[in-house]
Amino acid sequence: MSMKAAKRKKLEATGWKVGNAADFLGLSKEEVAYLELKLKLATQLKNLRLKRHLTQSDFAKRIDSSQSRVAKMETGDRSVSIDLLVKSLFALGVTSKDIGKAITQTKSNAA
């Protein structure tokens, strides 16, 4: 799988409908950077939840949300903000340092 295809797959997972390569390339650098950052936080959240052996429903209760919203958080859905992801990570006891480190990660060494 090419680098470009891998990236595209990730972006599609976030809710972006990428009809074709041209549309994909139509995304600006800023948009791609934003989506990638969001996906990093989403992944960090999911990994942490799994490490704690919590279901999405368990975790939803803890942050006064719902299972469906947690699912959307973890897939980086269009409808979830970075604010929500950050707040959720803090609720799991993650530190700013941890978040900063996760953001700094490149694809090759992502958690």
Partner DNA sequence: TGACAATATGTCAAATATGACATAATGTCA
Partner DNA sequence: TGACATTATGTCATATTTGACATATTGTCA
Q: Which residues bind its own copies (CB under 8 A)?
A: 29-30, 33-34, 36-37, 40, 81-83, 86-87, 90-91, 95-97, 99-105
Q: Is 45 in the site for DNA (CB under 7 A)?
A: no
Instruction: Return the range that interacts with DNA (CB under 7 A); candidates 18-26, 27-35, 69-77, 90-98.
Output: 69-77
Could you please report the per-residue DSSP string of 27-90? S-HHHHHHHHHHHHHHHHHHHHHHHTT--HHHHHHHTT--HHHHHHHHHT-TT--HHHHHHHHH
Amino acid at 93: G
Separation CA 70–CA 31 (nearest Å): 23
> Helix count (H) and strand count (E) of the chain?
7, 0
The owner of tokens 């992801």 is: 85
CB nearer to its own copies: pick between 53 and 97: 97
CB nearer to its own copies: pick between 19 and 52: 52
Among 60, 89, 94, 102, binds DNA (CB under 7 A): 60
Q: How many residues does the chain have?
A: 111
Among 10, 36, 62, 69, binds DNA (CB under 7 A): 69
Which parts of this chain interact with DNA (CB under 7 A)? 50, 55-57, 60, 63-69, 71-72, 74-75, 77-81, 83-84
